Structure 1
C-alpha cells in the first residue's frame, strides 16, 4: 500500500454472526485485500484495509466503514464475505472518485443501497479570525 493512503476501509473484528461462533470479519478482510490487489489500477486510490474492535453494529454483522480525510464516512452492516465483495469493490471505486464522499443510496452498488447504517458528514474545522486581541 502507498504511504500516502487517504482512503480506508475498516471492518469490525469483534462481532460474530448472530447465533454462530464463526468470525467472518477476518475472512472478509482477507478477501477484500485480495480483491483490491487483483483489480489494481481499477481503483484510483490506494485503500488501507484493516480491522478494529467493536463498531457497535452487532445486530447487523459484518460491519464495514469507508472513511477518508475531508469526505463523508459510511457504515454498512449485514455484509456477507461470500456474497458482497463485488459491491464493496464497486463502492471503493466510487468513493475514491467522489470529491466529498457524498452519494445517495440509489447511487450505491447492489446490496449497499439497503444496508447503510450511517452516513457521517466530513468533519471540517473552521477557525474564525477575530479583530480583538486577547488581553
Structure 2
C-alpha cells in the first residue's frame, strides 16, 4: 500500500484539512494511496511536512508545502511515485514546485 503522511500539528497551516483535500483528490484521480495525518513529523522549521512511503520503495519527506498552491504538484508526485517500482525518482520536474521542497529521500 502506498501511503502519504501529512503533519497535523504544523503551526500556521491546517495539515488535517490538506490531508482531507488529498484524500478527495487521490480518489478522484483513481490513485491507490492511504492518506494519514500524524502529530508532529519533527520538521517544524519547514511546515507543512508531507511524506511518501511504500513497502520496498524509497521514502520521501517534503517541507514548506503550501496547501493553497501545492495540491496539483503533490498529486503529480504521487502518480510518479506510484509508477516507479522502487520509488526512486530521478527527474521530478513534473512535480513542479514540490521538487524544491524535498527535505530527504531514503532508499528502501
Same fold (TM over 0.5): yes
- Any stretches of 5+ residues in structure 2 without a counterpart? none
CA contact (8 A) 2:77 2:92 kept: no
2:3 counterpart of 1:13: no
State which structure, 1 or 2, has the greater radius of gyration over its C-alpha atoms: 1
Say what the alpha-carbon RMSD is for the aligned residues: 1.3
Cα-to-partner distance string for 1:21-54 (whole Å, 9 max, x where unaligned): xx410110111111111112xx3xx100001111
Q: What is the count of residue pairs matched by the alignment?
A: 108
Cα-to-partner distance string for 1:52-71 (whole Å, 9 max, x where unaligned): 11111101111000000000
Identify the structure with the greater helix proportion.
2
Structure 1: 4+ residue segments shifted above 3 A: 105-108
Query: When the two structures are superposed, what TM-score results if normalisation uses the length of structure 1?
Result: 0.75
Cα-to-partner distance string for 1:67-105 (whole Å, 9 max, x where unaligned): 000000000011111111101111111101101111135
Query: When the two structures are superposed, what TM-score results if normalisation uses the length of structure 2?
Result: 0.93
- Any stretches of 5+ residues in structure 1 without a counterpart? 1-5, 18-22, 123-135
Name the counterpart of 2:17. 27
SS in structure 1 of the partner of residue 86 of structure 2: coil
